[in-house]
A and B are shown apart, each in its own frame.
Chain A
């Protein structure tokens, strides 16, 4: 029996996980959500914005990581707009462009915010592998990097961008990042050189790497993955995709832990048996 289990077909694990997750998604259960201090700091930084404050928001991610970071991006955008801040959105990833439009459709328009007045879609700008040139360019002259908005409106004709020249005119840089160029490049080029405070949303896998940057002077607040999104939605009292996915994620984690225990138990029980 133990020998049979030692050669357990791993495809059963995939199938079990798929069925368990489908059930968790179809029948969700509201779990209590404890907010991490880093998420609270991110919330506080956006809560401190005053009406008319300018913030930059970078959508540097694609379809492969959107389920993780997009819920937090929507929650933060909703929060910033509710504070009366003007949000200028852009992306250095070509795959990130549709998510700006999705955010406008799901957050800006339902909130009754006006295009080019309350929010601006600056669109996509290829920043190279490091993004250094574009970020440095934005720091010194935003208009030179984005001479027109996504809909072709000249920079000088956009009401929201009147008087905005470079990073010094922004209260906050909100970086939703899933790789390079992303949060590391903003810390290096935007924060180190122009001292612009950064609030970031990152994937859970890159979160341990970014924690040391949450020093108060580099990254002021951080939301990590789907869990971070759910926590931010909890602070906003506005449940969304993050909260919806949290139960399924918890079930998935429990299933993985159960499989690890199962695998180890089989290993130790079968230690005395002969190898085939």
Chain B
């Protein structure tokens, strides 16, 4: 059994969270509030240190931090844009916050436009254009499934034509492909949650109780 107080705290908080499975109780609420508080404090401290101290103040005023590097004033531009967003809190200056938001939206749109089209549309389209007749039977079956699955799933979302007759049969095939992919996603979700639960059980039995050694 562990002699470290931090391991005991972590183990008891884990059990507090698990206790919710029995019913909502004060121990669960205690763990929940500690989690929210600690997470907020951790986020605030890391962003303050990383963004405001290291990326802005240290670069703009290196001498104040006993650094000999050349001051880089342009980093203050980001700080000013950030402060503009906070102007929403001051009545009469709300309009200034829009400049900050506009800059962020414009930057994100500009930087994402080319890359998203390239990575998510063009290259993915290219991967769907595959030979349907090859000498390798396994590859041929895979390519047919890929092409029929993609086209029938997309056809299901085409609402300008009534889904009946041959087209209706094709869209119903698309539903099957969609259901199989949803099933795979759900199965993966269960596996993820179980893996996380196993991680916690390992922690309780290994780090805390010392019953299991990894």
Q: Which residue numbers of A lie inside 8 Å of B, CB to CB?
A: 11, 14, 17-18, 21-22, 25-26, 64-68, 94, 124-126, 130, 132-133, 136, 187-189, 191-193, 203-209, 212-213, 215, 217-218, 224-227, 240-241, 244-245, 248-249, 252-253, 256
Residue pair A94, B189 in contact (C-beta under 8 Å)? no
With known contacts A68-B192, A94-B42, A217–B123 Cβ distance under 8 A:
yes
Least distance between B41 CB and chain A CB atoms (Å): 12
8 contacts between A and B (CB under 8 A): A67-B202, A132-B112, A133-B111, A189-B111, A206-B188, A208-B181, A215-B123, A241-B202
Q: Is there an interface contact between B124 and A212, defined as CB atoms closer than 8 Å?
A: yes
- Bound form: Cα–Cα A156–B119 in Å: 33
CB–CB B214/A241 < 8 A: yes
Complex Cα–Cα for A188 and B202 (A): 36
Interface pair A248/B47, CB less than 8 Å apart? no
Contact A26 B205 (CB under 8 A): yes
Complex CA gap A244/B188 in Å reads 19
Complex interface bits, B1-42 against A, C-beta within 8 A gives 1, otherwise 0: 000000000000000001001100000000000000000001
Within the complex, which residue of A193, A205, A217 is in contact with B188, where a contact is CB–CB below 8 Å? A205
B191 touches A225 (CB 8 A): yes
Contact between B188 and A204, CB atoms less than 8 A apart: yes
**A65 touching B211 by the CB < 8 A rule?**
no
Q: Which segment of B151-159, B167-175, B193-201 sits at the interface? A: B193-201
**Residues A22 and B201 in contact, CB atoms below 8 Å apart:** yes
Q: Is the CB of B112 within 8 A of A130?
A: yes
Known: A14-B21, A212-B127, A218-B119. 8 other contacts (CB 8 A): A26-B211, A67-B200, A132-B112, A204-B189, A205-B192, A215-B123, A226-B198, A245-B195
Chain A: minimal CB distance from B75 (Å): 11
Flag if B108 contacts A130 (CB, 8 Å): yes
Give every chain B residue within 8 A of A188 (Cβ-Cβ). Answer: 112, 115-116, 119-120
Chain B minimum-CB-distance residue to A248: B198
Q: At the interface, yes or no: B63 with Cβ under 8 Å from chain A?
A: no
Chain B residues contacting A256 (CB-CB under 8 Å) are 190, 194
Given the known interface contacts A188-B115, A204-B195, A252-B194, the answer about A245 and B202 at a Cβ–Cβ threshold of 8 Å is: yes
Q: Are A124 and B50 in contact (CB under 8 A)?
A: yes
Decide if the interface of chain A is mainly helix, strand, loop or mixed.
helix
Cα-based distance from A67 to B18 in the complex (angstroms): 17
Chain A residue with Cβ nearest B119: A192
A132 CB to closest chain B CB, in angstroms? 5
From A64, which residue of chain B is reached at the shortest CB distance? B196
Contact A132 B192 (CB under 8 A): no
> Closest residue of chain A to B22, judged by CB?
A11
The verdict on B134 contacting chain A, using a C-beta distance below 8 Å, is: no
* Residues of B contacting A130 in the complex (Cβ-Cβ under 8 angstroms): 108, 112
Question: For B202, what are the chain A residues with a Cβ–Cβ distance below 8 Å?
Answer: 25, 67, 241, 244-245
Q: Are A215 and B127 in contact (CB under 8 A)?
A: yes
**Complex interface: chain A residues within 8 A of B80 (CB):** none
- Give the top 6 A-B pairs by smallest Cβ distance, nearest first: A67-B199, A192-B119, A205-B192, A94-B46, A252-B194, A192-B118
Q: Smallest Cβ distance from A17 to chain B, in angstroms?
A: 8
**Contact, CB under 8 Å: B211 / A205:** no
Which of B123, B184, B199, B212 is within 8 Å of A218, CB to CB?
Answer: B123
A217 to chain B, nearest CB (A): 7
Contact between chains at A68 and B205 (CB < 8 Å): no
Q: Which of B21, B47, B201, B211 has the most chain A CB atoms closer than 10 A to its own CB?
A: B201
Contact A136 B111 (CB under 8 A): yes
Cα distance A97–B29 in the bound complex, in angstroms: 28
Closest A residue, CB atoms, query B110: A132
B residues 92-133 touching A (CB-CB < 8 Å): 107-108, 111-112, 114-116, 118-120, 123-124, 126-127
A244 to chain B: closest residue by CB: B214
CB distance from B20 to the nearest CB of A (A): 10
Which residue of the partner chain A has the closest CB to B150?
A212
Cβ of B78 to closest chain A Cβ, rounded Å: 10
Pair B197/A252 contact, Cβ less than 8 Å: yes
Query: Is B195 a contact of A68 with CB atoms below 8 Å?
Result: yes
Most chain B CB inside 10 Å of its own CB: which residue of A66, A189, A192, A203: A192
